[in-house]
Structure 1
């Protein structure tokens, strides 16, 4: 038997892992939806005078100035429901993404064990590889939903798409199948290191924090009830991974709103970008290095509750489904 501590990827059947991942994604998405809308609005803002005047603010500065001001601006001009724009495709995205992610993570880990043997790789390296594979698989499988989420979150009161169904039909007619995958390259370039770093840090911290949690350490006990180690490890892992891969996330958002509807979103003059490298070059030229990190603050603020809720919910949902499975097995016996 391996001397390694029991870990997330070794628990539960494939179906239980998939169900737990979907449950975690559903709940996490609803909690952090407003911050996600704020992040997207900030990422798409170029801070040019014309962008400000077209967005309804002063022509001398940006429409949105920080997280709180953006929240107030959206509520004032679009109502409370404006903070949940794009929530339907986003909920579908998070459910499917989390289900694919945790399932692929478990499958990738099994494949690594079969290829090089269990405990042959350092835990961090194994977690990084499995996390990178799971992130790439989940991003590719759910990317059209991610694009739809971004476009809905980017539109103001002048609605570009009247419904999810209409958006799908319109994009298919105007942009073809490739239109649903705009920005996939920077998306993969972002998610592979992000998920790799996330799971590497998470799997390294969780066992250590679990021991403190078990001993009722003052810093952890009672934070979120039993299993606070999963939530804390998830927060730290997400902050580290998010900071390292954020520029690719911003580039992805800028490319996702390209196409015939580019000038109809909240920011009317989003530049026309061509490819990942061209987008990075244009942002650096006109907005400087800081332009690649526009929206990072709210992204990190979002990362804490999102990762904590996701991992905490996942652990509990998995244990619930496992207990339910054992109960059904015992009943059959």
Structure 2
């Protein structure tokens, strides 16, 4: 992950970076869409510590693990149920990939141009560039992220008839603020995630470089990247669950597949509420499928990005010659 991102500083023009990033996000999203729907359903499932079946006196559909959730969705909603919310999600990944790669490249170039003795070391450069790029991409695409969550949370009873209808309904009943519910939790994930990722990566890389380990990943870079990603994602996962719970707040809260979602307000209050009523399990519900999703998502994104940028660079050279 880190090695692939580092290459972005030197390959392709700004326009090519935008196109390649967008295509990579588009392809990656389609591949991991079913896992994303499963994760969202699990994150929104409420389990009280005192009553593991229902809360607020309302029984909801109970999912048991990744495979159990997959079977339940296929049985009740069919194959298309696994791609609910895919249209706003595709648009989000398209825009997110473009903004993230472009912002990373711009910030990285800017920081690299700072003269000594103010020039930052490479790890600090990567961390700041990644954090700012993630924050920019998260904020600019957040309404699409919210729509993705709400559509994925719909069961057989449709809350929104169409994407355009959802935009009108939210704008009318919730106002502009409705499109940014949970943004604080979304943005607050980025900085600690990037910090933990790079700190773990830099610490693990020399350890895993030992040839005696015979790593199956083929390189210490890849192994360190995978482990660092798992550690960082696990650490900030409660904020992801918090974001999902806040995204489905509003007048339609009781109409989603889980009809017993409590009323939450604010990031800190939501974290306290989940911790108090559901414990650690509630904070980390859906983590397994999230970690399963992370590997193919990252692999598809970077593989697609490198291929697309490579094709465009070669085409440009042929046209010039």
Query: Which stretches in structure 2 are left out of the alignment for 5+ residues?
Result: none
Looking at structure 2, the residues matched to 25 and 87 of structure 1 have their Cα atoms a distance apart, in angstroms, of 12
SS at match of 1:288: helix
Greater RCO structure (CA 8 Å; 6+ sep) = 2
Q: What whole-Å deviation, never above 9, does each CA across 1:6-42 have from its counterpart, x for those lacking one?
A: 7332221111111111111011001100000000001
Query: Equivalent residue for 2:21?
Result: 21
Could you tell me which residue of structure 1 aligns to residue 179 of structure 2? Answer: 180
Of residues 245, 262, 266, the one that matches 2:253 is: 262
Q: Match for 1:239 among 230, 237, 244?
A: 230
Q: CA deviation at 1:288?
A: 1.1
Distance 1:230 1:101 in 2: 22
Q: How does 1:1-333 map to 2 (within 5 A)?
A: 7-48=7-48, 49-50=53-54, 54-56=59-61, 63-116=62-115, 120-198=119-197, 219-220=216-217, 235-330=226-321
| Distance change in 2, residues 1:322/1:77 (3 Å) | same
Deviations 1:235-288 (A, max 9, x none): 444323311211111100000000000000011010101100100110111011
Q: Shift of the alpha carbon at 1:328?
A: 2.2
CA displacement, residues 98-133 of structure 1 (integer Å, 9 cap, x when unaligned): 110010000110121223559943322211111000
Unpaired segments ≥5 residues, structure 1:
57-62, 222-227
Q: Secondary structure at the match of 2:59?
A: helix
Paired with 2:65 and 2:116, the residues of 1 have a C-alpha distance of: 49
Residues 104, 134 of structure 1: 8 Å contact kept: yes
SS for the counterpart of 2:9 is helix
Distance 2:243 2:298 in 1: 21
Task: Report the Cα offset of residue 322 of structure 1.
Answer: 1.5
| Rounded Cα–Cα distance in structure 1 between residues aligned with 2:149 and 2:215 | 41
Q: Is the 8 A contact 1:108 1:130 kept in 2?
A: yes
State the SS of the aligned residue for 2:260. Answer: coil
Q: Distance in 1 between matches of 2:313 and 2:206?
A: 20
Q: Are the structure 2 counterparts of residues 26 and 96 from structure 1 closer, same or farther at C-alpha, using a change threshold of 3 Å? A: same
Return 46-55 or 98-107, whichever deviates more.
46-55
- For the residues of structure 1 that align with 2:38 and 2:128, how far apart are their CA atoms? 31
The 1-side partners of 2:295 and 2:302 are apart by 11
TM-score by length of 2: 0.87
> SS of the counterpart of 1:10?
coil
How well do the aligned residues superpose, as a CA RMSD in angstroms? Answer: 2.9
Paired with 1:6 and 1:250, the residues of 2 have a C-alpha distance of 30
Which residue pairs with 1:60 in the alignment?
none
